[in-house]
Structure 1
Amino acid sequence: MNSEHYQEHIDVLNHRAQQILTREGLQGLVIHSGQPHRQFLDDMNYPFKVNPHFKAWVPLLNLPNSWLIINGTDKPTLVFYRPSDFWHKVSDVPTDDWTASVNIKILTKVDKIAELLPANIQQWAYVGEHLDVAEVLGFKHRNPDGVMNYLHFHRVEKTAYELDCLRAANRLAVLGHHAAKEAFFAGASEYGVQQAYLQATGQLENDMPYGNIIALNENAAILHYTDLTYEAPSAHRSLLIDAGAQVRGYAADITRTYAFEHNDFYHLIQDMDTLQCKIIAQMKPGVRYVDLHVQTHQLLAQVLLDHQLASGDVDSLIESGVTRTFFPHGLGHMLGLQVHDVGGFMHDERGTHMAPPPAHPFLRCTRTLAANQVLTVEPGLYIIDSLLADLADTPAKQLINWSRVDAFRPFGGIRIEDNVIIHSDRTENMTRESGLID
């Protein structure tokens, strides 16, 4: 990573911290990386997931019991937990280029952290998950709304360093997607496709930013399908793979759908791919993401008509709820330190909420696009029996070509998802520019 971009990133975060600390009358922020969570009635912990506010400042993903002390002016202080432990590997103190931008202190015992925190702790804000720990340490301000809303609103605007990380995550995920595609056409099971993906990315399952969705045939109709089968099906018809990667804590989130043969489902995928590219071409600063979602339904209605899945016209398919039956989720979401990154519903830095339209309750972003935002764009078309059954109890039943729906049911569904950066003068499709075209 570009070390100059990292220092610029720290400068931006420090400036944001200074602004909100002044506004809220606070001395500084103390960001807790988190603590391990013990499994119930066991002596093992769940996989550790670091506080996203912590990894925004330092690229350390597996470092529980550590802290950042930030006053918005000086170098951040990293309190690095390094115990004496013969049971587990102890993390080495980092020496990478980025460490020149922080001060590092060593913490050897969890219960000694108070000795390294500021003396006037009641004038500092705790940012983290473990509010009980914060209370014991004497923090009066624990995840204060004013601070959290401000940080979440501005986290939507990515720095050059963050864009570097997101591009790298996309390049890594694309390697996995190519390997997964090859495994599918070689006849692998869902488990086999998953293993090919992990092998190509060089990341373990717990390193993934979310649980990979590897869905063959009918399973592609289940939006968050993660219950992988170990046996290959008797016939390979389709693969929907929604899988990412992470670099320095920043996520890629990419989906592709493949048909095993060049059949009607293959041509439906091609038209959904074209639809997605048309939507991305409309993205620029000043465009409302809600409007893009509505436009997606208009384009999807035409796809349904072109493939004889429905009859009527575009307006009737939208107004009757037909398009929502085939495409029930939102167009996409903010992307960054978290897969479904924060700030997608925020109108301003004070946290004013912009709800999605009542007709589209699952839309995850209502922001107006601006430069340096990063979003996913993921239109879909699925044969979901429960939703179709609901539609069959309405007058819109007459608009559905049920025999055509039956023909597509064994293929499950389609989703095409890319990760894009909004620039002032263009839109950068990180996924396709990393080499994943179809």
Structure 2
Amino acid sequence: MTKTYSHHLHQLQAQAEQALARCGFDALVIASGIEKYAFLDDRPYLFAPNPHFKHWLPLVNHPHSWLLIRPGHKPRVVYYQPDDFWHVPPSDPAGEWTELVELVVIGQPDEARAHLQVPGRLAIIGEADAALDGVTPNNPADLLNILHYQRANKTGYELEQMRAASRRAVPAHLAAKAAFLAGASELDIHRAYLAACGHTDRDLPYTNIVALNEHGAVLHYQYQEAQAPAESRALLIDAGAQVNGYASDITRTWSAGDAMFDALLARMEAAQLALVDEVRAGVDYRSIHLSTHAKVAGILQDLGVVKLSVAEQLAQGVTSTFFPHGIGHLIGLQVHDVGGFMADDSGTLSPKPEGHPYLRLTRTLTPGMVVTIEPGLYFIPTLLNKLKATPAAAAVDWNLVAHLSRFGGVRIEDDVVCRADGAPENLTRDAFAAQA
């Protein structure tokens, strides 16, 4: 890890120095963030570090810490380590990163000021509540545009962390599948997932979606029922893991056995793999999204759900009833990583395709980008009711829709690296293959 992390830090330093020069700043200051408390309460929310901070350092539970970046200097890390008997304080600084930075340990948040107030014009990145006297985040838009645009392309160190995050999540997905097949409740499936990956709810990269039966038709289903249903027909689980602040984001749909739903699952699996293969350097990601709609239309036609051609379904917008979200997004330090709509590092935006408001990525793919590919096909009551009010309703087999609605829907999601040498690297499938 030392070599790849050292290279990673060197690349970030070079990018920061170039961005500072372009934007007329002399130094970059980054706040890790502070712990926040519920309104009128002394109960803290889960701490979420500033992603710019953890881009440089594998530190995710370190509020009140800071970074100072100056041309020609090692990064200065102001490391907050209070003398605290109410909570477990951060451990002594350790790891490869400590050898590559100038380290300052402080015991009180205000002590950071003396180590951050350097001469010149400062770009200070952080939330407003992280401010210290004389060190107030200004979040210059031109600088952030450059950093966010660059962040889409991962270094070797970052890819190592993301591979590890996939390897951490996959055994948990298999444990969740086993719990589902044993008839467990959503809550118990979630617990099986946590036990297998070694996470708690505190440190998951996002809240797990654990949806049985019709709940799979709720795209961001947010509950976990403690009572198992009388019949567990299908499980849609969207759950990830993280390593050193880098996330994996994986979705699998499992069936307890039904001929028509299993046929739908098989067709979606084949479509998803074909879409993964479209992740190539120079490809406009929007084209993959539009390709997904064509594939969904073909599945609906072949299974007899909609008796219209692919072209007719696309022209009438039928597929948006069954596939209403985007094909995926950038992933890395954040599950939905920043910079997805940027045409360049000045902040110019690439528009979403007309009629597709929920797509989260509109960039042309370049080597080192990591994206999700997550086609879905769902039976969502509110959208189906709208479809019934259109001329296309006459072409829908509503009895078949009623049957498949009992399973909620299908989503299959992999994390995929765009590579310079052609075929993409599928982090998710590689991790599943390692468990076989």
What residue identity is the alignment partner of 1:128? G
1:125 matches 2:115: no
Question: 5 Å matches for 1:180-195?
Answer: 180-195=176-191
Question: Would the aligned equivalents of 2:205 and 2:241 in 1 still touch at CA under 8 Å?
Answer: yes
TM-score by length of 2: 0.97
Partner of residue 195, structure 2: 199
Q: CA deviation at 1:390?
A: 1.1
Aligned to 2:424: 427
On the 8 A contact 2:29/2:69 being kept in 1, the answer is yes
What amino acid sits opposite 2:281 in the alignment? P
How far apart, CA to CA, are the structure 2 residues paired with 1:306 and 1:272?
A: 12
Once the 2 structures are TM-superposed, how far is the Cα of residue 132 of structure 1 from its aligned partner? 6.9
Counterpart secondary structure, 2:149: helix
**Partner in structure 2 of residue 271 of structure 1:** 267
For the Cα contact (< 8 Å) 1:222–1:384, is it kept in 2?
yes
AA at the equivalent of 2:125 = V
> How far 1:332 moved relative to its partner?
0.3
The CA deviation string for residues 293-312 of structure 1, in whole angstroms up to 9 with x for no partner, is 11111111010011111001
2:104 pairs with 1:109 = no
Q: Give deviations 1:157-202, integer Å, cap 9, x for gaps.
A: 1000000000000000101101101111111100010000000000
Question: In structure 2, which of residues 371, 375, 378 is the aligned counterpart of residue 375 of structure 1?
Answer: 371
Structure 1 residue 262: Cα displacement: 4.4
How far does residue 10 in structure 1 lie from its aligned partner after superposition? 0.2
Contact 1:190/1:215 (CA < 8 Å) preserved in 2? yes
Tell me what 1:391 maps to: 387
The percent of aligned pairs where both chains have the same amino acid is 45
Partner Cα separation in structure 1 for residue 350 and residue 189 of structure 2? 39
Residue 168 (structure 2) aligns with: 172
Cα distance in 1 for partners of 2:93, 2:111 equals 21
Q: Does 1:46 align with 2:45?
A: yes
Q: Distance in 2 between matches of 1:214 and 1:181?
A: 11
What is the rounded CA distance, in whole Å, between the counterparts of 2:135 and 2:249 in structure 1?
39
Is the CA contact (8 Å cut-off) linking 1:80 and 1:93 kept in structure 2?
A: no
- 1:97 maps to 2:96: yes
Q: Structure 2 CA distance, aligned partners of 1:261 and 1:245?
A: 28
Kindly indicate whether residue 303 of structure 2 is the aligned counterpart of residue 307 of structure 1. yes
Task: Give the Å deviation of 1:150.
Answer: 0.3
Q: Distance in 1 between matches of 2:220 and 2:210?
A: 9
Matched, 1:362 2:358: yes
Please show how residues 258-337 of structure 1 align to structure 2 within 5 Å: 258-337=254-333
Contact 1:16 1:72 in 2 (8 A): no
Residue in 2 aligned with 1:252?
A: 248
Deviation at 1:108, TM superposition (A): 1.1
Give yes or no for contact 1:131–1:142 (8 Å, CA) kept in 2.
no
Give 1:119 deviation, angstroms: 3.3
Deviation track 1:74-100 (CA, whole Å, cap 9, x = no partner) reads 211110001122211111222212211
Give secondary structure in 2 for the equivalent of 1:148. Answer: helix
> How far does residue 118 in structure 1 lie from its aligned partner after superposition?
2.7
SS in 2 for 1:294: helix
What SS does the aligned partner of 1:411 have?
Answer: coil
| 1:14 and 1:73 in contact (8 A); partners too | no
In structure 2, the residue matched to 1:137 is 134
Match of 2:238 in 1: 242
One-letter amino acid matched to 2:223? D
Q: Does structure 1 conserve the Cα–Cα contact (< 8 Å) formed by 2:279 and 2:416?
A: no
SS of match in other structure, 1:56:
helix
TM-score normalised by structure 1 residue count: 0.97
Amino acid at match of 1:49: A
1:86 maps to: 85
Distance 1:192 1:131, change over 3 A: closer
Amino acid at match of 2:109: V
Once the two structures are superposed, residues 28-86 of structure 1 have per-residue CA deviations (whole angstroms, 9 ceiling, x without a partner) of 11100001111111112111000000000001101000000011432111100011222
What do residues 259-311 of structure 1 show as CA deviations (whole Å, max 9, x unaligned)?
10142101110110100111111221011111111111111101001111100
Does the 8 A contact of 2:34 with 2:130 survive in 1? no
Aligned residues: 434
User: Residue 131 of structure 2: SS of its match in structure 1?
Assistant: helix
| Structure 2: segments with no counterpart, 5+ residues | none
SS at match of 2:275: helix
SS in 1 for 2:222: coil
SS of 2:304's equivalent in the other structure is coil
Tell me what 2:59 maps to. 60
Q: Provide the rounded CA distance (Å) in 2 between the counterparts of 1:146 and 1:115.
A: 27
RMSD (Å), alpha carbons: 1.4
Change in CA separation of 1:176 and 1:309 when aligned onto 2, cut-off 3 Å: same
Q: Within 2, Cα distance between the matches of 1:72 and 1:398?
A: 66
- Write the distance in 2 (CA, Å) between the matches of 1:87 and 1:291: 53
Q: Is the 8 A contact 2:116 2:135 kept in 1?
A: no
- What amino acid does structure 1 have at the position aligned with 2:164? A
- 1:112 deviates by 2.3
Deviates more, 1:171-180 or 1:427-436: 427-436
Match of 1:402 in 2: 398
